[in-house]
Structure formats: structure tokens, C-alpha cells
Amino acid sequence: MFFVGARVPNGQAALEIVAKVNGKAITNYDVDQRAAFLRMVTNLDDTKANRQQIRQDATQMLIDEILKLEAAKAVDPTIVDKSRETAKNLLDENFADNGKSGSNNLRDKGIDARNIQSKLVSDIVWGEFIKYKFDSQFRELESIVDKALLQIKKNSQQPQVRLSEIILLPGPKRPMNKTLKLANEIIKSVNRGADFNDIARQYSAAGTARSGGSLGWVLTNQLPPEINEEIQKIEIGAISTPLQRDGLVILIRKEGTLQNGAADPSQDVITIARAVYPLKKNASNASKLEAAAKIERETAKVKNCDDLLALNQKYGSKINGLIKNVKLRSFNTPLQNLIKNLEILVPSKPLSFVEGVSVFMLCKREAHKMILPSREDVFRAEFDKIFGSLSERYLFRLRRSAIIETDL
């Protein structure tokens, strides 16, 4: 590594080049920012080994982004500039929160939004390049979709499972043993509340990464035997153990099942109200018990969701009290288990969360009705399959032909 000589903010390390890709530099600032973003998204345990692996993964992502942009610009030198506005809109759409734009929200977390916008530009540009490069394969999509739709209608009463996936691809900076370790760390993080789909968008090597890893409904008899066997073992909302297949590490989340066209309860659409008694993050157990007793006494008088929302307002909670028309599966597994057993308009027992003690009430519940996927949904799924395979192979070619220097 060597000093570049650029100015850096007070308190930060001197700017250094930590990698070069065909002569283009990646600095320690670039890597630090991307690593901070990955830590935010994955919420992996803050251990020395995880910090080191995330930093290596961040470096590899930045290397791959340079390779992708170079390949695309060789075809259309203006493609990056044409993609910036779309990337900015995506950044605000995906990371906006509490009335703040995505850029401001990332900045508040110490992350330079320009670094993440550059990643989104790379994703957009790469998508356009792969479609152009392999135009003949993509031109066959319409007929593939026609056949897929016929098969879906034919098999609508067959056992199906709704899945999402994260495909981890071992690489120069993460061999198989470390990739398996990362997979297990991701499982731990998701079980603590991290968003599986957000992690898929950043880490998955599959074409489905662009849709958060969603595979949609899949016929169980069309799954590879080892994957089908694994998902039969796990509950809805759970993640499989890491599976090795064709040199990849696969994580599968089971999100729902269909038998004879009837869905499991996780597909029900619900409206739920909640009242949150706010507590400080470092509140004592005694304070939590006192708050739980208070909220339990007061919710005993609550007769409907409007009453519970009024109680939430009385407590001065800044948490949104009403969640309307969402699928039960959109909640994490512990909350799913709580909500699915609630009776309409009967408050739950108090539960302790980071933000305080909460009570939930089910306002409305509608059983899922079997709806066949639209042509657009099927097109996107088939596109992702083709895109993922072609993207992976072509990126390998670019890595092999590139001159890559790195100290990490």
C-alpha cells in the first residue's frame, strides 16, 4: 500500500491505494465505506474474523464493479452517465426512512451515499451489458415464458413451496471454507432480525439478487432432491443449513407452502395495531416488568384497534401503530408465531422489544386466495435464471483476463 496524497477529514487515516484493477485504483476509503454498508445490511456478529471477511468481500465487490463498468463502457461510453439518475432514485427508494432521503439516512449512519450509488450504477450498467452481449439467449424468453405459464396452470394443484435464496460464490478472497462460515454467520444474523432479502441484494451471486433473492412459488417435485429434502425439514420462515452444490453455497428460506391450491396461514393478509410503551435502550429488567404490568392493565380495557392506537398515542410512542394489509410472512418468525395465534380484537400479552414494551391486536385477517403468477412475474423469474448464469460466467472471464493487484 502507498500514500496517494489526497486530503482526508480530520481523524481519518491517510488515503491509500489498496488495490488496482487494470490500472484503476481502489482506496482504503472506498473499502471502508463499502464494508460499513455491508455491516449495516448484514448485521453480522462484530468479531475480528467477520470484520476481516467483510472487508475482503467489500474489496472484491469493488474490483468486480470496475470490471463490469469497463466491459459496459467499451460497448457504450455514455452508459454510466445515463444510469446515474436511475441509481440515485433507487438509492432513495431503498434506503429512505423516517422522512429522510436515502442519501441523508446513509450519511447519518456514517456511510458515503456516493459509494453506494456507484454500486447501483454498476448493477444497472451490468444488467444492460449482459442483455446486449447475449441478446440471442434473451430473445428466446417469450417462448420460455409461454411454456412456463402453461406448466404453472397445469400444476396449480400440485404441492408448491415459496422460496427465497442467497447464492454465495467462493472467490479469490473467500475460499469455500470461509464461504461456508459466512453462510452460517448470515443465518445467525437473520435469526436475530437482519433482513434476508437485503442481504441477498448485496451478497447473492444469483440473478434473483435483484429481487431480494425471491424465487417465488416452486413445484416441490422440480427441486433438486437435496434441496427438497432440506426444506421439508424446516418451518415456514426458517432458513436451510448451508447447502453445497456445483461449487456454490446455497441458503434457502422457506416462505410458504401450497397444497391442492390452498396456502398456509403465512400467506394470510392481515391488518394489525400495536401500542408501544417507550423505554430507553439500557432500561433495567425492573423497568421492563413495571412497563409490562402497566400496559397489560390498560390494554385489558381495550375493545378494538382504535382504542389500542389511542393508547399508543397516549404513550408518546413514535412507532407507527397501524400496519395495514400485509402478508403474515412479512414479519419475522417470532412475530409470525405470535400473530397467527391471535384472535381478532383480542390484545396479545406484553412483549419486550428494543424500542419498548409492545402489545399487538389483530384487526383483520383474510385467508390467501390462490392467484396464478402474472406473465410479468414469470418473465422476471425466467429472466433472472438466464441472467444469473450468464453474468456469473462472464464475470469469471473478466477476472481471469484482468490485471488485479491487491494487498488485502
Decide if pLDDT at 4 tops 50. Answer: no
61-100 pLDDT, tens per residue? 999 999 999 999 999 999 999 999 999 999 998 888 878 8
Residue 381: pLDDT band by 50, 70, 90 thresholds? Answer: confident
92-125 pLDDT, tens per residue? 988 888 788 889 999 998 999 999 999 999 999 9
pLDDT at 219: 84
Distances (CA, A) of 55 to 16, 100, 104, 207, 400: 15, 28, 24, 23, 22
More confident residue, 153 or 288: 288
Work out the average pLDDT over 317-336: 85
Burial of 179 by CB count in 10 Å (0-12 exposed, 13-18 middle, 19+ buried)? buried
225-272 pLDDT, tens per residue? 989 999 999 988 899 999 998 889 999 999 888 776 556 677 788 999
0.85 surpassed by pTM: no
293-320 pLDDT, tens per residue? 999 999 998 999 999 999 999 999 888 8
The class (CATH top level) of 141-264+372-401 is alpha beta
Residues of the chain with CATH 3.10.50.40: 141-264+372-401, 269-366
CA dihedral defined by 25, 26, 27, 30, rounded to 10 degrees?
140
Residue 13: pLDDT band by 50, 70, 90 thresholds? Answer: low
pLDDT at 262: 58
Decide if pLDDT at 370 tops 70. Answer: no
Neighbours of 384 (CB within 10 A): 21
**Third-level CATH fold of 2-135:** Triger factor/SurA peptide-binding fold (1.10.4030)
pLDDT at 406: 83
Q: Which residue has the cell 496517494?
A: 4
Residue 7: pLDDT band by 50, 70, 90 thresholds? Answer: very low
The residues, ordered by sequence, that sit 6+ positions from 284 with a Cβ below 8 Å of its Cβ are none
Residues of the chain with CATH 1.10.4030: 2-135
Instruction: Judge: domain 269-366, CATH 3.10.50.40.
Output: yes
